[in-house]
Amino acid sequence: MKYMMFVCTDTEPETHESRVPDIEVWVAENDAAGRRVTGSVLGATSAATTVRVRGGEVLLTDGPFTETKEVIVGFDILECADLDEAIAVAAAHPMAYNGRIELRPFADL
Amino acid sequence: MKEVAEAAQDSYARIVATLIRVTGNWSLAEDCAQDALTAALERWPRDGVPGNPGGWLMTVARNRAVDVLRRAAVEETKLREMAMLASSGNSAPSDDRLRLIFTCCHPALSLEARVALTLRTVAGVPTAGIARAFLVSEATMTRRLTRAKSKIAAARIPYRVPADLGERLPGVLAVLYLLFTRGYDADGEPAFADEAIRLARMLAALMPGEPEVAGLLALLLLQHSRRAARRDEAGDPITLARQDRSRWDRAAIDEAVKILSGMPVEGPYAIQAHIAACHAGESTDWRSAASWYDELARVQPTPVVELNRAVAHGYAYGPAAGLSLLASVSGAPEGYMLAVEADLRERGGEADRALDLFRRAAAAVPDGPERRALLKRVHSEPRKP
């Protein structure tokens, strides 16, 4: 089962720096276990461009499609047996401490 | 028909849990369990109750599922597994019901969804009944249940008892407790108290080594034992001290006390059950209650627990002891704080100050039975403790 892991910021991060796990370790472990298909840090939302086509015309907007305090700063695609495994992987990511992570299953088509 | 009702209560969760494991289809499992119960209602009065009612129901439900799946042309392995269930009859693995409970109470579902799904799928309560008790329309409750089942499938919430029980069991117990305390009948009594007790009993039988499960069962039994004494003719709540103890359900109290006597105390449910048991005798054993509250405040240091701790100490060791603990409580609802202080000062002989505090407490709680009870204290003579 594939899960998209949206990595987001949060206005109230964990305050104990020492508890936050290391991202390099997280990537290495999950790559080795075959649980991380791919993933990347994303550029700032100031570099985002939103694209729509309406009436045959391409409409561009500078910036992300929603303006919120929390922004998506990265993503990973996971391959996990079930939601419990995906939750365990997400909960070990440093941004689960410093931000928040949304797990979305790939739609079953 | 009594036999159908009894066999139904006993079998429903078993059938649903097993059919979900084998077919992975929640709606199919519920429909087939319901069909089997309907068939029993038709046939048992005519043909007599079978020797093994649970086995009979399981077989009928399974055959129905096989029919439906065959029509939908499901792969052979699933059908073979279904066929094998026939020979196992009623002795389906009992931990299917545990799988079902843990899945219904999965923390990735909203709390409302967990409560509703547990009532519908494990306890077999009709959707309309759940909707009524939670004051939503049946359509809303149906949507909530459908959404929860879709999420279980779409996000692949696993159908199993988790390896880390320490992390997940408290969540299951919290759902059972909520199911007991939330949701009310028209007369203001918990609508699903019997279901909650039945589920706690089932869980206690399936997990005999878990003190908190036994603790929850004992707590529910003790709270429910007072149902006949809890309200006056107007439906207003009567405080524990003023209840007619002869109307308490002695059998339930005895069962709870027996459960507690054989179990170590490890968490908040067992502690709360012990506190409830301190009230269950001819008079309250306040010294024991006070020391159990010390324990509860250690594992669950919430303002309301601290407030109740002050009350217990006030009765056990005098108003001054209660007031001194009360001084360190912060964050509890103002009305309750004032009411506790009023009661302690009244018993300490400070009648005028107590009157003023009761008045302020009444003004600080919402209009309703609690305010009426506080105003009664303003207008009645001070009581002896």
ipTM of the complex as predicted: 0.88
Q: Looking at the partner chain, which of A83, A107, A108 has a beta carbon nearest the beta carbon of B108? A: A83
* A81, A87, A108: residue with CB nearest B154: A108
- The pLDDT tens digits for B209-218 are 899 999 999 9
Instruction: Check B158 against A103: CB less than 8 A apart.
Output: no
Assess whether pLDDT exceeds 80 at residue A67.
Answer: no
DSSP letter assigned to residue A17:
G
The reported pLDDT for the residue numbered B91 is: 47
In chain B, the percentage of residues whose pLDDT exceeds 70 is 95
| Contact between chains at A82 and B108 (C-beta distance less than 8 A) | no
Q: Which of B106, B156, B162 sits opposite A1 (nearest CB)?
A: B156
State the residue for tokens 């720096």: A17
Closest approach of chain B CAs to the CA of A83, in angstroms? Answer: 5
pLDDT category at B61 given cuts 50, 70, 90 is very high
DSSP 8-state symbol, B190: B
The amino acid occupying position A85 is E
B107 to chain A: nearest residue by CA? Answer: A84
The encoded tokens of residue B163 equal 């390896």
pLDDT band at A41 (very low <50, low <70, confident <90, very high): very high
Q: Say how many residues make up chain A.
A: 109
Asked whether the beta carbons of residue B157 and residue A1 sit closer than 8 angstroms, the reply is: no
- Using the beta-carbon criterion (under 8 Å), do B157 and A82 form an inter-chain contact? yes
Residue B141 has a pLDDT of 96
How far away is chain A from the Cα of B157, in angstroms, using its nearest Cα? Answer: 5
> What is the pLDDT of chain B when averaged over all its residues?
89
CA dihedral B16, B22, B26, B27 (to 10 degrees): -90
Q: What share of chain A has pLDDT > 90, as a percent? A: 80
Identify all chain A residues contacting B156, using CB atoms and an 8 Å cutoff.
1, 82-83, 105
Q: Is the pLDDT of residue B120 over 70?
A: yes
CB A80 within 8 A of CB A1: yes
Contact B156 A103 (CB under 8 A): no
Torsion angles phi and psi, residue B184, rounded to 5: -130, 150
Is pLDDT larger for residue B266 or for residue A81? Answer: A81
Query: Residue B75 — pLDDT band, cuts 50, 70, 90?
Result: confident
HSE of A5 in the Cβ direction (CA atoms, 13 Å)? 32
Is B157–A84 a contact, with Cβ atoms under 8 angstroms apart?
yes
Chain A partners within 8 Å of B106 (Cβ): 83
Residue B241 scores a pLDDT above 60: yes
- Structure confidence at residue B92 (pLDDT): 46
Mean pLDDT of B67-81: 79
CB-closest option in A81, A87, A105 to B154: A105
Contacts of residue A82 in chain B, CB cutoff 8 Å?
156-158
Whether B222 and chain A come into contact, CB under 8 Å, resolves to no
Who's near B379: CB < 8 A, 6+ residues apart?
none
Task: Mutate one of A78, A82, A106 to test the B interface: name it (highest B CB count within 10 A).
Answer: A82
**Does A81 contact B157 at a Cβ distance shorter than 8 Å?**
no
For residues A78-104, give the mean pLDDT: 96
- What's the gap between Cα B229 and its chain centre? 19
Helices (H), B24-126: 26-47, 53-71, 76-88, 95-104, 111-117
- Under the banding of pLDDT at 50, 70 and 90, the label for residue A8 is very high
Residue B157 to residue A105, Cβ atoms within 8 A: no
Q: Residue B158: closest CA among chain A residues belongs to which residue?
A: A82
CA B212 from chain centre, in angstroms, equals 13
If pLDDT is split at 50, 70 and 90, which confidence band does B354 have?
very high
Q: How confident is the model at residue B84 (pLDDT cuts 50, 70, 90)?
A: low
Q: How far apart are CA A50 and CA A42, in angstroms?
A: 15
**What is the CB-side half-sphere exposure of residue A82 using CA atoms within 13 A?**
13
Mutate to test the interface with A, among B106, B152, B156, B160 (most CBs of A within 10 A): B156
More confident residue, B319 or A66: B319
Distance of residue B154 Cα from the nearest chain A Cα, in angstroms: 7
- Report the pLDDT value the prediction gives residue B88, as an integer from 0 to 100: 53
Lowest mean per-residue pLDDT among A63-72, B216-225, B291-300: A63-72
**Is the pLDDT higher at B2 or at B142?**
B142
pLDDT at A103 over 80: yes
Token representation of residue B116: 């509703």
Q: Does residue B155 surpass a pLDDT of 90? A: yes
In angstroms, rounded to a whole number, what is the distance separating the alpha carbons of residues B374 and B359?
7
A33 to chain B nearest CA, in Å? 20
Instruction: Copy the structure tokens of residue B214.
Output: 């036994």
At residue B76, the pLDDT reads 72
What does the buried/exposed string (b/e) look like for B82-110 if buried means 16 or more CB atoms within 10 Å of the residue's CB?
beebeeeebebeebbbbbbbbbbbbeebe
